[in-house]
Structure 1
Amino acid sequence: MKTAVAIRHLAFEDLGLIEPWLRRQGWRNVTYDAGVDDLRTIDLAQVDLLIVLGAPIGAYDDALYPFLADEVDLIQRRLASARPLLGICLGAQLMARALGAAVAPMGHKEIGFGPLTLTSPGSASPLARVGAQPVLHWHGDQFELPAGCASLATTPACPHQAFMVGEQAMAWQFHLEVDAARIEQWLIGHAGELQQAGIDIAALRRAAARHRAGLAQALDAVLTDWFDRVWP
């Protein structure tokens, strides 16, 4: 049985649709809560897939959240091992930081459902399986591309939405994993941010319901493609 380890920062920003997908493949899922669990105890040799999830904090906020240094160290060691790694939102930004790239505020928020525009490298990547399906965007920071990594996707609000390191490591700025049936947790948990950004909560709720099935299908297609490449 393969094991996936997720690093979670916020209770409702969890594996979402990824957890039942992995279970259907016969995987075991283990979650560590950053800032609570000691990430230094993770034996990466026993981890088949490491997943670093999102959070409403900055990738360089070590002074406020000292555990981020342990996360960056964990990610650097995982990247050095050339074994499977997936970073989502903050996780993607931490991957970029671990590879020496800058992460900084965009000056605006990108919150809501919208499609990705794939680059040429993106069209040859597992993200091609997303197709025209809108994904959930929810961030105010962005990463620069690490050296040697190509941008896989873009949106009008953010020039770099994803990158890969070889076939084994993938970073998503967006949220493909969100279970739209649980969007209310996000709407409650991020109420202050949504109000400050002037987001229409009712419209966001309706969009989540409209895209629920499509997101699940897109996630299944992307992960199936990626896993076929990593574990042929």
Structure 2
Amino acid sequence: MTLRIHALFHTDYEDFNFIKQWANSHNHTLNLSRSYDDDALPALDSFDWLIVMGGPMSVHDEEKHPWLIAEKRLIKQSVDAGKTVIGICLGAQLIAHCLGASVQPSGVKEIGWLPIRLTPAGQAHPLLQDLPKQDFAVFHFHGDGFDCPKGASIIASTDAWANQGFVYQTPLHKELGTWLLAWQCHFEVTKESLAKMVVNGNNSIQSGLKEYPKTVQSPAEIIALGDKYIEENNARLSAMLNRIAEK
């Protein structure tokens, strides 16, 4: 089955990254909207999956970024229609917000290749059976966090923030075999995209190194560790996307 995948981008330097490699390998179609740049949002019947990407803004920045209002409306409509919706970092926070959960500063920044662990619910979940049962390193770049949406299952945690991802299905999603999957971390980064994130997020990294030295890594360390961890994390994302695509 060929999937029609639409993504919401929030920064000029953002790309599909590994998601594009995965989609191309399965002949899925990819489209995107940069609503912050006045792109039109897609019609609800024009896509099967909605992927909500990351970005430096807060879900509450509607006054500064009024395009967030329309994006939230589309996310909520997609959930109500039983679409598969996948969130990455800010995208995960937007989905949580649209499901009625609180999103706020977590009290710590996590920036770099830091260990994450699956919760018991995560270890048991059918979408995550290809992920390690022990701690494994993923790339983080966030300071906000979300509470668990009502009815969702928290699937991963870190020492700094307990809610690092969740899965959720409405009755319609269960009927259609579709999912909501949200991660704070970035399984999708490639060597090229990681370098862009480090350059464009350098101010946050430098301030984070002073405030949160235990959970923020230097640019050089982030790039070096990326060479070690990117390939295995891309493989983990591929496995999750494959399981979501299987009906």
Q: What TM-score bracket applies, with the shorter chain setting the length?
A: over 0.9
- Cα distance 1:38–1:185, how it changes in 2: closer, same or farther (>3 A)? closer
- The offset of 1:108, in angstroms, is 1.6
Equivalent pairs: percent with the same residue?
31
| 2:10 is the counterpart of 1:6 | no
Structure 1: 5+ residue stretches without partners? none
Equivalent of residue 230 in structure 2, options 209, 212, 222: 212
- The offset of 1:38, in angstroms, is 4.0
Structure 2: 5+ residue stretches without partners? 170-177, 210-216
What residue is the counterpart of 1:105 in the other structure?
105
Higher mean C-alpha deviation, range 129-138 or range 72-81 = 129-138
| Paired residues of 1:54 and 1:90 also in contact (CA < 8 A) | yes
Instruction: Tell me the amino acid that sits aligned with residue 23 of structure 2.
Output: L
* Structure 1 residues 150-189: aligned runs within 5 Å: 150-166=153-169, 167-189=178-200
* Secondary structure of the structure 1 residue equivalent to 2:188: coil
What is the TM-score of this pair, normalised by structure 1? Answer: 0.93
Instruction: Tell me the amino acid that sits aligned with residue 69 of structure 2.
Output: A
- The offset of 1:29, in angstroms, is 0.6
Q: What CA RMSD, in Å, does the superposition of the two structures yield over aligned residues?
A: 1.5
* Structure 1 residues 214-229: aligned runs within 5 Å: 214-228=232-246
What residue is the counterpart of 2:119 in the other structure?
119
Find the aligned partners of 1:188 and 1:102 in 2 and give their Cα distance: 30
Find the aligned partners of 2:185 and 2:128 in 1 and give their Cα distance: 12
- The offset of 1:128, in angstroms, is 3.7
Instruction: Tell me the amino acid that sits aligned with residue 22 of structure 2.
Output: W
Find the aligned partners of 1:67 and 1:137 in 2 and give their Cα distance: 25
* Secondary structure of the structure 1 residue equivalent to 2:145: strand
Find the aligned partners of 1:99 and 1:182 in 2 and give their Cα distance: 29
* Aligned positions, number: 228
Instruction: Tell me the amino acid that sits aligned with residue 142 of structure 2.
Output: H
Find the aligned partners of 2:49 and 2:70 in 1 and give their Cα distance: 18
- The offset of 1:36, in angstroms, is 1.5
What residue is the counterpart of 1:34 in the other structure?
35
| Paired residues of 2:58 and 2:90 also in contact (CA < 8 A) | yes
Instruction: Tell me the amino acid that sits aligned with residue 25 of structure 1.
Output: H
- The offset of 1:34, in angstroms, is 2.3
What is the TM-score of this pair, normalised by structure 2? Answer: 0.88
